[in-house]
Every structure is written in structure tokens, then in C-alpha cells.
Chains A and B, each alone.
Chain A
Amino acid sequence: MAAPTLDRLPAAARWRRPGQRPPAVLVVPALAAAGVALLPLVYLCVRSLDRGVPELIDLLWRERTLRLALRSLGLAAAVTLASLVIGISLGWLTIRTRLPGRRAWAVVAALPLAVPSYVAAYAWVAAFPRIPPFVGSVFVLTLCCYPYVFLPVAATLGRTDPALEEVARSLGKSRLATFFAVTLRQVRPAAAVGGLLVALYVLSDFGAVAILRYDVLTRVIYTSYRSSFDGTAAAALGLVLVAITLAIVWAEGRSRGRAAQARVGSGAARQYRPLAMGRGATAGALVWAATVAAFALGFPIGSLTYWLVDGGTAALDAGALGQAAVSTVTVSALGALLTTALAIPVGVMAARFRSRGTRALEQASYAGHALPGIVVGLSLVFFGVRYAYPIYQRTPLLVLAYAVLFLPAAVGAVRASVAQSPRVLEEVARSLGRSPARVLRDITLPLAGPGVAAGAALVFLTCMKELPATLLLRPTGLETLATELWAETEVGAYAAAAPYATLLVLLAALPTFLLGHRRRSATLDVPGGVS
């Protein structure tokens, strides 16, 4: 037998791995971040098993559960379908045709993202108090959500190669047949991703359905929690909602994988020459685009203005408004701070130390992406009552909920901005005598700073709009703009709600404006804000 030489030993025995392992200064806080992100999900499972498995099955095995689940799914399906029709048609009209003023229309079509769904619901309910719940919910949510389809579809249409369509025309297909056979095929991956985002948004939306009084899972979870001392039923329904959401997220992940495969080549070699339409078609298209804009933007803005003017200064409680604004800014700033602090170690590790362990940590931090705000709020309420009473109904628990909900957006921002600076800079710093932790402080973070700050700002603005978790977790006596709007709307004080709604729209317009600017880079990076 040959003597064991160095070459025959297993690799691990021969050399210790160099600095590819993340330093403890990253690992420990990243583990904490993953723990925070998973806490609501884990505790929701624990809480719903509070009275044992048979009781849980008994709670879930009811016709009501099935009815609620089907309602949620039905609403999601209806809104998704309607959003696909509006999003794809507007995308095609603004990118591929010579619609008069098409660039302006493209900007206008993206703007409804700036209207939080509960603000839109308030605007409609204030004007038509008898609006039927289902119809109203579909209507309002579609007008808020179709940009999630429009943006990726427009981006895809702008960069695909027109040659395919020209070939189809030259092979004798009519314009319409070409649209269905070629164009729709090209936008299918983008439309699928957008559609799944819409479905996800609708399933987790609380504000709009609650204001329009449509009993889907989110609203019933809230009312059953409010109406009984025992939260187990609410927790069980939360579990159902999470299961449905996870299924949707899973489907979205799969569709993204396929979308990546479906893209061939590196993009269009030529600019697409927009299609000239006949006079009748142009008029029809203009009417269509104008109608969507009127309902999605014009009406809410008009309604807000009406109530603002109608209420006048009499209804305006400047003190309450100012206090709510200060509270909103305070808790949102704390939320953005904590979220970013937790996101930095996870994002740096995801960008710089790829391994199975770091990937698991990153994935765990994305839990908030699949958790509706109402579920996170509910789970943390239970957790706070039982294990963290000192912070129950105080700011820390609310801030924690924001961290769970918006960690995905912040981690994405950190990861992208760290990955942007070349790794060689960190290696040079190491060779100049800096330890990994100090390299992080002196090189990695200063270079990633602007991107991380932009991510933090986005989280800050998203926190300000958050409704369901804030409603459940806000400290006693603290009101944010969103909860004030909610409270006034619930008692039908539409004029009193108007100033809050106006401020919220203005705040929400900021990230939409930024998003619109980044649209041309064509990455689908929609903030995970859900109301």
C-alpha cells in the first residue's frame, strides 16, 4: 500500500479555507434577522396549534373556511384577469403604436401605483356608499394593481426583436393573428410575473376590502380577532391565508425560472417602428386609455379634492393631522432603521459569501414577501401578549412588524449595491492589513452606502402607508395617517378623512416617481408594500 501523501488526503484535511467564510460580525446579526423574519410565521403555527391538532382541524374543517378561501381566490382571479387585460392593452398601445402622446400615456398608466388601495377604496365609498362589495373590490383593486402588469409588459415590448412579428406578417398572417400568435407569446413571461404579483397583492390586501366590506380572509381574520377574546380561530384562518400565499409565491418563482429561459438572445437589435393606426382605431385607443386614467387617477383625485374642499377648514383638525404626521414619520423612520440594520448583514452575505448557509439565511429573510400584513400583525399581537408583554402595544413591536414585512425590499437593495462594487477592492484592503470586519466598515459599506440609503428611503415610505399591521400593533393612543384615515372612513366621516388621504397619496407618489425613472432598466422591482 502506498504511503499516504499530501495529495491523497481529502481536501478539507489539507488546507483550511481562507476568508470565504463570513465573519461573526455578519453571521450573528444575520441570524437574528432571519429569526425576526421567521418569527411571525413560526409563532402563527404554534398559536394555531394552541388547543391541539383536533381542535385546529375542527376550526378549519368548516364550510365557512372553504367559502372564505374561495372568495379570496375568486377576488384574486377576477382582479388578476382584469389587470392583465388593462396592463397588456395599455402596454401594447403605448409602446407599439403611434398613439398620440404615447410617452405621456405610458407615464400616466404607471401612476396609479401611487394610490394606496385603501385610499382608492375610500374615494369610491365616499362617493358611492352603496357600491356592492364584490364589484367595488374588483374595480378598486384592479385600478390599483394593473400597473404591476403594465410595467413589465411595456418593458418587454420595448426590447423584444420586432423581426419575429415582421416574419409572421410576411408569412401571410394578419395583424390581429400576429398579435395573438407572436406578440402575446413574447409578453407572456412578463405578464405572468406581473399577474402573480397582482394576485399576491389582492390576497394580502386588507384596507380596500375592509373599507368596501367584502368578507375575504384578511377582513374576516381582523373582525374575528376583534370580536373574540380567543384568537385561535383568527390564527387558523391566518394559516389558510399564508398557505394560499405561499402557493402563489411558489408559482411566481417557477414562472420566473421559465421566463428566464424563454428569453433568447440579448435583446432587440433594432428599435421597433411604432404601428400607425387608422383614425377609428386611434380614437378607440384614446378613449380606452383616457377611461382607465380617469377611473384610476382622475376619480380618486377628484373625490379627494371634493371632500377636502367640502370639509373646508371646519373639518380639518390641524392638531390631529400634525400629530398623526409626526407619529407616522417617527415609527416609519424607526421601522426603516431597524429593517435596514437587519438587512445589511443578510445582504452583504448574500452578495459576498455565497454558500448554502447564506442562501438559506437570505431566503428566510424573504419570509415577509409571503406574509400578508394582517397575518404578521396578528401573529406579533399573540406573541407580544404572551412572551413580550413589556413591548406589547408599544413602538418596538410595531417596528418589528415593519422589519418583517419590508426586509425583502431592504435585503434586495443592500445585496444589489454591495454586488456593484468590485470584490478586488476588499481583497486589496485585506492585503493592506484590515481584518474582514474592518474591511466591511471601511470599504464595503461606504461604497454601498448610496444604494443602501435609497433602499432605506423606500422602506421608510412604504412603512408610512402600511395599514393592517399598524392597526393591530400601534401603541395605545398613537395614530398614523393610515389609521386616522381608517378610523374616519369607518364612521363615515369622509371629509375628515380627506386630509389624511391626500397626505398619503403625496407620500406614496415619491417612490412611484422613482420607480418610473428606473422602469427603463426594466427590472421588475416592485416594493413589497401591501396595505
Chain B
Amino acid sequence: MSELVVRGLNKSFGGVHVLRGLDLVVPAGSLAAVLGPSGCGKTTLLRIVAGFEAADSGTVELHGAVVAGPGVHVPPERRRVGVVPQEGALFPHLTVAGNVGFGLPRNGRRATRVDELLALVGLAGYGDRMTYELSGGQQQRVALARALAPDPALVLLDEPFNALDTGLRSAVREDVRTALRRAGATAVLVTHDQEEALSMADLVAVMAAGRIAQAAPPGDLYATPSDLGVATFVGDAVVLEAIATAAGAQSPLGPLRLRDAAARGPGRAVVRPEQVLLDDADAGVVGTVTATVFYGHDALVRLSVPAPGGPVPVSARCQGLPPGVRVGDTVGLRVVGPVTFFPA
């Protein structure tokens, strides 16, 4: 059963068409990441789902019921949608427990539930603190606990890790992921950080030009992007002119095995840098090293490969910087594994 179904959403702000017929389906219990560059309308989508904003047309269904659509606007307080805004937005005049318990009815169960949630986000015993006594990461976890407390049908997270420094970010991300899983919540995370989307989500929806270009599990999205835009937006990509034949595709990097064996004719092949292996220079395809970039856990070797239409840039990802590779060297290249092909 799908928890959130969005269909044909349109929204303009003063002549700027932000959402253009956006569709999105999020299955119950999963975490979906909406990935797109800043200003692409991700937050607008979130605000419409939460009920803070009305779309110009389209429908939003939650848990099988239409909450927004022609003639329908269920107010935010009756949608059962929890929200974790950027920078937490904790109520400054309430304690941590006051924040977490804000959405709970005043009864005997309240205190127990607050303790439960604080334990869930790893902040047991912090209930009496004031929010300004917390670090950024702790504030973000309190915001999550507050959103989860009334047991919402859906939790929306709007770039919740933006304000955190890099070191803290991955730790908080993991905590949030764990808490969401343990709560069994359905969640939509909006982010412009592809690493965040790919590492956290069950489903990544890439947003471009006001609609979802592709929604798929992270692995599928990376391996089989639906178009060139998604391919280059998600992860590094080497794009090569190629001609598909029955025996694979002919390209400046030699013959390529295609995922879609039935493809024929000219087009473009997308090769991931980790599929490009460095070899001895006497192998079939050679390239000239133009730069090397060392990242610690791996390294990127940038090369220039001769092709009929002039040299093309190619990147190869290696585990550590291969010894003896210098700028200006000529090395052999080999592509392993199947690649994605887009006919022209």
C-alpha cells in the first residue's frame, strides 16, 4: 500500500512555474529522498504535501484519502503529517520535553511517550533541558522526535542536515535513519546532496524542471538512469558518443557491453568512472593523463582519449593513486561491466 500518492501537481508563484505536473508515489514504511538542485521546487512540494501551501492543480493522497485536490484542502493540523524543517525550528519557549510532547494529547500517556521518543533518538534524560542548551545535531534529533511523537502517517524532512558541519552530518544522518526505521515511519526527505539521498533513502526521486525525472531505488537509479540528465546529475559520469550494434557499442573506449542489448544505431553511452580500469599502454585503447585527484579513500585520474571528433575527457576511479602514474603519461584503458546507452 502506498502511503503518499501525488498526481499532476502544478504550482506557480507570480508567473514562475515551479511544479509542472509532478507525480510521486511513496510506499508505506519507506524513506524517499527528493533530490534536486537548490531552487528546483522541492520545498514547495513538501509544503503542499504538509498543507502549508495550495497547489494550482493536481491531487495529494495520504493513506488512501485525498487531502488536497479540486475543492479539497484538509488543513495541516488534520493531515497527520510530521514536519522536520531546516535547522529544526524548535519552540524556543518550551523545554525539550515540551517540544516533543507538543503534538500529544494531555493525558497520563504523554510523559511516557515523550521518554520513549527521546530514547528513540538517543536523547534519554534530556527532557528538562531548554532547546538553546542543545547542539545543532541534538536539536535536529529533538525536531525528529517531536514530528514522530503523534505517530504521523508521513514525516517530511526539509534539508534537515544543512546546518550541521560535515563531521556531524553523517552521524546525525545515520541516527535519523535508524530512528525512522525503528518507528516504522514513512518519510520524505528533501535534499540537494546526492550522497545523502543515495546513502539514506529506499527510493530516490530526482527532480528537474518541476517534475520527477526518475524515481527508483538508489542502486537502480545509479546503474540505469532514465535519461542523460539524471545520469550526469546523480554520480560522476563519462559520456561517450557511441554506435550500438548487435555486438555491443563502438566507442572511443573500445567496444562496450550494453544493458539494453537490443539498442541499435548512434547515441551516447554513460560509463561510470569506477568502470574504467587503467591497464598497460600496449593494450588496445590508450589515453593521456591530464590530472590526478587524490581523495584519500580513492582517487580520480583524468585522461584525454583520442576520438574521431577530437579528444574526449574520461575519468577513472582507482583505489588509491596507482604508483607511477604521472600527468602526461600514456596509459591503457579498459571498461568493465555493462553500460547504459541513450539512442540519439
Contact = CB atoms under 8 A, between A and B. Distances in A.
Interface of A: 6-7, 9, 11, 13-19, 422, 424-425, 427-436, 442-443, 446-447
Given A428-B83, A434-B77, A15 B68 contact: yes
Contacts of A443: 91
Contact of B57 (A14, A17, A430, A436): A14
Contacts of B73: 15-18
A301 to B, nearest CB: 43
A437 to B, nearest CB: 11
A518 B3 CA distance: 52
Given A7-B10, A15-B73, A18-B75, A427 B102 contact: no
Nearest to A19: B75
B56 A422 contact: no
Contacts of A9: 57
Contacts of A19: 51-52, 75-76
Of all A-B residue pairs in the complex, the 9 with the closest CB atoms, nearest first, are A432-B103, A430-B76, A16-B73, A431-B83, A15-B54, A424-B89, A6-B57, A18-B54, A433-B77
B102 A429 contact: yes
Contact of A428 (B51, B54, B55, B89): B89
Contacts of A15: 54-57, 68-71, 73
Interface residues on B, range: 35 or more
A442 B146 CA distance: 16
Contacts of A436: 75
Nearest to A8: B57
Nearest to A442: B102
B81 A431 contact: yes
A15 B51 CA distance: 12
A9 B102 CA distance: 40
Contacts of B146: 428, 432
A6 to B, nearest CB: 5
B109 to A, nearest CB: 15
A275 to B, nearest CB: 45
Nearest to A422: B89
A462 B73 CA distance: 46
Given A15-B57, A431-B79, 14 more contacts: A7-B10, A14-B70, A17-B73, A18-B76, A19-B76, A424-B89, A427-B85, A428-B83, A431-B76, A431-B77, A431-B81, A431-B83, A432-B82, A434-B102
Given A424-B89, A432-B82, A6 B70 contact: yes
B167 to A, nearest CB: 26
Nearest to A15: B54
Contacts of B269: none
A16 B73 CA distance: 6
B150 interface: yes
A424 B80 CA distance: 17
A446 B93 contact: yes
B52 A430 contact: yes
Interface of B: 8, 10, 50-58, 68-73, 75-83, 85, 89, 91-93, 102-103, 146-147, 149-150
A16 B51 contact: no
Given A425-B91, A429-B102, A16 B54 contact: yes
Contacts of B147: 431-432
B50 A427 contact: yes
12 contacts: A7-B57, A15-B55, A15-B56, A19-B75, A428-B146, A430-B76, A431-B77, A431-B81, A432-B150, A433-B103, A435-B77, A447-B92
Contact of B71 (A16, A432, A435, A446): A16
Contacts of A442: 102
A424 B85 CA distance: 8
Nearest to A449: B93
A434 B85 CA distance: 17
Contacts of A14: 56-57, 70
Contacts of B93: 446-447
A20 to B, nearest CB: 8
Contacts of A11: 56
Contact of B76 (A7, A427, A446): A427
A430 B79 CA distance: 10
B56 A430 contact: no
B259 to A, nearest CB: 36
Contacts of A7: 10, 57
A435 B10 CA distance: 27
A13 to B, nearest CB: 8
Contacts of B56: 11, 14-15
B77 A430 contact: yes
Interface centre among A11, A431, A432, A446 (most CB of B within 10 A): A431
B71 to A, nearest CB: 7
A434 B10 CA distance: 28
A19 B76 CA distance: 8
Contacts of B82: 431-432
A19 B51 CA distance: 8
A55 to B, nearest CB: 53
A14 B72 CA distance: 9
Contacts of B83: 427-428, 431
A262 B77 CA distance: 45
A18 B52 contact: yes
B139 to A, nearest CB: 13
Contacts of B89: 422, 424-425, 428
Contacts of A446: 93
A518 to B, nearest CB: 22
A159 B91 CA distance: 35
A26 B73 CA distance: 21
Nearest to B8: A6
A435 B82 CA distance: 15
A430 B75 contact: yes
A214 B26 CA distance: 79
A17 B51 CA distance: 10
Contacts of B79: 431
A424 B71 CA distance: 26
Nearest to A6: B57
B71 A428 contact: no
Contacts of B102: 429, 432, 434, 442
A9 B57 CA distance: 9
A368 to B, nearest CB: 31
A422 B92 CA distance: 11
A256 B50 CA distance: 40
A427 B52 contact: yes
A19 B73 CA distance: 9
Contact of B51 (A18, A422, A425, A432): A18
B63 to A, nearest CB: 15
Contact of B53 (A18, A425, A435): A18
